[in-house]
Amino acid sequence: MVTAITRAVSPRLNECEITHIERTPIDLEVARLQHRDYVHALEQLSCRVIELPAEPDLPDSVFVEDTALILPEVAVITRPGAGSRRPEGESIMRVLSPLLPLVKIREPATVDGGDVLVLGKRIYVGLSTRSNQAAVDQLNELLSPYGYTVSGIPLEGCLHLKSAVTRVDDETLLINTSWVNRDYFAGYRLIETDPSEPAAANCLPIGNSIIFPTAFPKTRLRLEERGYSIIPVDVSELAKAEGAVTCCSLIIDERP
């Protein structure tokens, strides 16, 4: 069973945090429709979806990925880099506590879940405007009992590590090498984004399929040419808030 935790779009989404792109108006109704289609894609892939209600006073709260790091053994409640986002974790803790043991990141560490890439027992954290070395150190302390090692990786020109690289399968990563150095991922098969689609490195594998944005057809073709089954979703309005397909869910994979 794969469980996906999502949260409805806040009515204040236009007040979201913006770091690396120019702010443009977001059509709230279109964003809600796109999010509904995203949830439907998860359901199509046989996920059990836990839908949380919108948080009227938390503009970025649809991006639940940033609130927690989900591992098979434990969930880490993050401390987001933007202070306005830290209250989002309260409701996430309530929904996760029956499902997994919880540990928490503490001050002065900051980390967004979008900066955390889990590859087996190796965890990489993007050293970004949202996540710092103190978080890497705390994650090593919290997760070493479970056999994990955590390393920080510098980024260039993007919000999160998973803006630059995401897991496709156990052997393969989708990557924009202009934003993160490929040398950190020696031993993996790398599929590079099309040069005209720098933001296309974010994908969400579920089972044998990949949820992927409709905005990046050239990179989608690169995935399909390698045999991957793509479930296309339009997240163009959510992207105006620096959102992507991994951002909108927390995935708990209970399959062996």
Q: What percent of the chain has pLDDT over 90?
A: 98
How confident is the model over 166-203, as pLDDT tens digits? 999 999 999 999 999 999 999 999 999 999 999 999 99
Q: What is the pTM of this model?
A: 0.97
On whether the CB atoms of residues 30 and 79 are closer than 8 A, the answer is no
Q: What is the pLDDT at residue 254?
A: 80
How confident is the model over 199-248, as pLDDT tens digits? 999 999 999 999 999 999 999 999 999 999 999 999 999 999 999 999 99
Q: Is the pLDDT of residue 255 over 90?
A: no
Class of the domain covering 2-253: alpha beta
Q: Is the pLDDT of residue 14 over 80?
A: yes
Q: Give pairs for 218-227: CB < 8 Å, separation 24+.
A: 218/194, 219/174, 219/193, 219/194, 222/191, 222/192, 222/193, 222/194, 223/168, 223/174, 223/191, 226/172, 226/191
Phi, psi dihedrals of residue 66, rounded to the nearest 5° = -75, -10
Q: Is the pLDDT of residue 256 over 60?
A: no
**What's the average model confidence in pLDDT over 24-42?**
98
Which residues participate in catalysis according to the annotation?
Answer: 160, 247
Of the pLDDT bands very low, low, confident and very high (cuts 50, 70, 90), residue 44 is very high
CA dist 58 and 97 (Å) reads 21
How confident is the model over 83-115, as pLDDT tens digits? 999 999 999 999 999 999 999 999 999 999 999
Q: Where are the domains of the chain?
A: 2-253
Check the CA dihedral 74-254-61-236 and report its sign.
positive
Q: What is the pLDDT at residue 25?
A: 98
- Mean of per-residue pLDDT scores for the chain: 97
How confident is the model over 128-153, as pLDDT tens digits? 999 999 999 999 999 999 999 999 99
Residue closest to 31 by CA, chosen among 59, 3, 68, 66: 59
Check the CA dihedral 211-238-54-162 and report its sign.
positive
